[in-house]
Amino acid sequence: MRGYLPHYISRLMNVLNLRLLEHLRPLQVTVQQFRIMQMLDAREVASVGEISRDTVIEQSVVSRIVDQLERRGFVTRSKRKGNARIVDVKLTEEGRSTFAMMRPYAQAIVADAVSALSATERRAMEDMLQRMFDHVTAPRHPWLDTNSRNGGSRG
């Protein structure tokens, strides 16, 4: 797999998630539940669609996870002021408290992983990964545009 960037990124994410899961299991929280709680902690309130976009988790999966978190008393849902068609999700006090217990473990795992890099390398890596993410999530489909690679339209 040498030289295949998705392989390197996937391996790193899998190791980080496995380490995090060790600390989440006693709280009976999954990595995906943690990611959604992390996003809600940062944003305070978001719709299922916004959560899906920001966490890059399929919307139907986000809906199921929000249901699970709501049953556990970690989140609440309410209609958005000004647009009742949108349902907002936010952490409850219990959800914030539970997330606060998990946060130090996640931070320590990431701190350990990036300790192999200098501060300059960490900033550069964060910048490069963000630029790559922005690029691949931009509304474009170059793999469908065969005209640009074949010297124009055929016909």
39-58 pLDDT, tens digit per residue, is: 999 999 999 999 999 999 99
H or E segment to which residue 21 belongs? helix 5-24
132-155 pLDDT, tens digit per residue, is: 989 988 877 666 665 555 544 444
Angle at 62 between CA 96 and CA 32, to 5 degrees: 60
C-alpha distances in Å from residue 63, one per residue of 27, 57, 88, 103, 137: 21, 10, 12, 23, 22
All structural domains of the chain with their residue ranges: 5-137
The whole-angstrom separation of Cα 98 and Cα 93 is 9
3-state helix, strand, coil in the chain (%, to 5): 65, 10, 20
C-alpha distances in Å from residue 99, one per residue of 20, 44, 134: 13, 13, 27
Check if the beta carbon of residue 16 is closer than 8 Å to that of residue 110. Answer: yes
Report the pLDDT averaged over residues 20-26. Answer: 96
Q: pTM for this one? A: 0.82
Check if the beta carbon of residue 88 is closer than 8 Å to that of residue 44. Answer: no
Q: CATH class for domain 5-137?
A: mainly alpha
